[in-house]
Structure 1
Amino acid sequence: MDKRETISEEISDIKKEINTYINSKIDLTKLQAAEDLSRFVSGIAVKLVLFYIGLFVLLFVSMAGAFAIGSYTQSNEIGFIAVAGIYFLIAIIFYLLKGKLIQTPVIKSFIQLFFPNFSKYDKE
Structure 2
Amino acid sequence: MAFEELKENTENIQEQLESYIESNLSYYKLRSFKLAMKSTTAIFKFGLILLCFCMVLLFCSIALAFALGNYCGSYAYGFAIVGGIYLVLTVLLFFVKDKIVEGPILEKFSEIFFND
Offset, 1:111 = 2.1
> What TM-score, normalized by structure 2, do the two folds share?
0.93
Structure 2 unpaired stretches of 5+: none
Q: Deviations over 1:20-71 (max 9, x none)?
A: 1110000000000000111111111111111111111110000001111111
What stretches of structure 1 move > 4 A for 4+ residues in a row? none
Equivalences for residues 1-124 of structure 1 within 5 A: 2-116=1-115
CA distance in 1, matches of 2:29, 2:82: 50
Offset, 1:81 = 0.8
CA distance in 1, matches of 2:46, 2:102: 16
CA distance in 2, matches of 1:41, 1:99: 23
RMSD of the alignment, in Å? 1.2
CA distance in 2, matches of 1:77, 1:116: 52
Structure 1 unpaired stretches of 5+: 118-124
* Letter matched to residue 95 of structure 2: L
Bigger relative contact order, structure 1 or 2, given CA contacts below 8 A and separation 6+? Answer: 2
Tell me the residue number matched to 1:122.
none
Identical positions, percent: 28
Offset, 1:112 = 2.1
Offset, 1:113 = 2.3
